[in-house]
A and B are shown apart, each in its own frame.
Chain A
Amino acid sequence: MLIRDAFSYAISAIKRRKVRKGLAILGVTIGIAAIISIVSLSSGFQNLVSTQFEQGFSSDTLIVTTESISFVDTESDLQLYVNDTDIINGIENVNQSAALLQRTCAIHIGDQEYILGVVGVDFETYSMIFSNTFLADSGSIPDAPDNKSVIIGARVNDPWKNGSVLTSIGDEINITYTTRSGFEIENRTYTGRIDAILGEIGGTNIGGPIDIGLYIPIDTAEDFFETDEVGTIIVQLTSSDEEVIEDTSNEIEESFGNQIQVITPKSVLEAISSIITTIELFVSAITAISLIVAGVGIMNIMLTSLMERTREIGILKALGMHNRTVLGVFLNEALLIGLIGSVLGIVTGSTLALSIDQLGLLENFTTGTYNTVLGEISIRPVFEISLFLNSLIFGVMISVIFGLYPAWRAARMEPVDALRHE
């Protein structure tokens, strides 16, 4: 039998049992759709990590922190202080450094109230380190800020991203810090003045300015929060050479008795990538199982159809069809189920991933934690030709493997027995 004839014969067999074959196809479709949507979104996440993070976090920048990025290690009780920048600036290859004194406060701006991380930082140094992102869109970053100066991120002023701004340059902003002395809960409030609104940054910067950030001078922060303990010091090196980064990191760690962490851009990326890879593996395993279930479904349906078509197999053999051609005819059916299912799955999965993106379900995935500051993350699904091809091959392969046994049984039937079958 010619290949084209074998295919049209298989198509006519699939058409004959539309509902049953349709369900088999659906099984493959669901599995492949899951793979496509999950993998494209997680590659989108990878992409986000490798591009957006790197954007705001130049490779010559280090973060010195008391917090551990590992989930296992216990943190040290050693504290960093504002003046520790002097120690760090004395280390070879360090260009400059800025301490970040961050506390969570309630903010009244216009008629809105937010809970935000308020960051005390030296404006001059910070704007030199993050010269691409710590830039005023309106107003200007003061060279010599007074204790009322406040700089806000774009999203603080325009939370719905629609241009309905809450405030403008020179307006007042109320910052309330809640703390306790002894048993008493104390609310401290001070009124600042908006000197600058940052341009839209987008993406995520570790330690860098973010769209939902609020920045005050470091001296004001020390007075207001009544502390000079800081969680994070951003360090800019004179070079982004790997060896320099490595040596300087070690030196900074040593000068604090190895009680603090120096996070390099590379280590952050590696940590996040390894988490993503683990998640991806786990999810892929689940999806693979769902496809195997689909395969068992195909096998079941093909065995049923085999019983129904025993007589037909007898006819084909009586007409002189080779055993291997009978095998081929049945495998063709499984192959077509896999092919149709996979193509539908690719379309469905892509649509699903795109609609998740369009509906913005993964946007505003924002957090402002104590020391590690994440900005706005938006995940765009990434579709690669290889993803489509691999899914197609995988879907077809599963179908064919599970179709093999029924097809083999069909091929081995004795014509006289098959013809006698009722």
Chain B
Amino acid sequence: MVTVLQTENLEKNYMLGNIPVHALRGVNLEVAEGDFVAILGPSGSGKSTLLNLLGALDTPSAGSVRIGNSDVSVLNDSELALLRRRIGIVFQFFNLVSRLTARENVELPLSIANFPRSKRREIAEDLLEMVGLKDRMTHKPSELSGGERQRVAIARALASKPQFLLMDEPTGNIDSKTAKELMTLVKDLNTKHGMTIVMVTHDRTMAKYATRVLELLDGQIKKEACN
């Protein structure tokens, strides 16, 4: 079993105005290749903070995050940028670039990684087809529904062939029917394509799609269950 993601006594403190916040208080976590992990917790439990740390978007206050073979806290800006290219992230608010079309959004990580134009287009079109948006490629995010936007975001996260996929409340902003369809797609990614997925959510029904469910409360993992 290959470990793709590991944290040891991970702590994160920050200041919210003048008040110190201890968002994470010693999180130990190990994600193996092929896992589908759901991190379940109410708002304020520190799950978004944890996801940012796992995505190398933030640095820990104490403890360590290992992504593949690298320890995030010892990397410089440039090495972090290269590391982020190997991580796929899907945000709650989609975070698509509004002036670019669906296909251009999916091409963006490839463009950042210096892929030639024709190769980029090919990959983007294949991925959009896979997420069921073949006929929406030239639409801008404003012309797409919430569910469609999140599919574009998933396609974008997959574009650079990441080692694992991080999802922050992927169904938080879409209706339950669309959410169900989306989670079927995510589940398929895990089972059919062997994609390792770490998903943060407050919704138990969404957590049911995962193989492992970790409950996060007050910055600590309280309980682990397997589905």
Chain A contacts to B: CB under 8 angstroms:
1-2, 5, 9, 12-13, 15-16, 311-312, 314-323, 325, 414-416, 419
Contact = CB atoms under 8 A, between A and B. Distances in A.
Given A12-B99, A319-B84, A321-B81, A1 B89 contact: no
Interface string B131-170: 0000000000000000000000000100010000000000
Contact of B99 (A16, A316, A414): A16
A322 B108 contact: no
B81 A320 contact: yes
A312 B81 contact: no
Interface string B34-78: 000000000000000000100101100000000000000000011
Interface in B77-99: 77-78, 81-86, 89, 91, 95-97, 99
Given A12-B99, A416-B58, A322 B78 contact: yes
A414 B53 CA distance: 13
B95 A316 contact: no
B114 A318 contact: no
A5 B116 CA distance: 10
A414 B14 CA distance: 14
Interface of B: 52, 55, 57-58, 77-78, 81-86, 89, 91, 95-97, 99-100, 108-109, 111-114, 116-117, 156, 160
Contacts of A415: 57-58, 84
12 contacts: A1-B112, A2-B111, A5-B111, A9-B111, A13-B99, A311-B95, A318-B57, A319-B108, A319-B160, A322-B78, A415-B57, A416-B52
Given A12-B99, A12-B100, A13-B99, A1 B114 contact: yes
A7 B80 CA distance: 24
A217 B96 CA distance: 90
A178 B217 CA distance: 109
A315 B97 contact: yes
Contacts of A314: 95
Contacts of B82: 320
Given A2-B114, A323-B78, A325-B112, 12 more contacts: A5-B117, A12-B100, A16-B99, A315-B95, A318-B57, A318-B84, A319-B112, A320-B81, A322-B81, A323-B81, A415-B58, A416-B58
Nearest to A9: B111
A230 B84 CA distance: 91
Nearest to B166: A318
Nearest to A322: B81
A371 to B, nearest CB: 69
Contacts of A9: 111
Contacts of B113: 320
A259 to B, nearest CB: 78
A79 B81 CA distance: 87
Given A12-B99, A12-B100, A419-B91, A320 B85 contact: yes
A52 to B, nearest CB: 56
A15 B99 CA distance: 9
A323 B84 CA distance: 13
Contacts of A315: 95-97, 108
Nearest to A422: B93
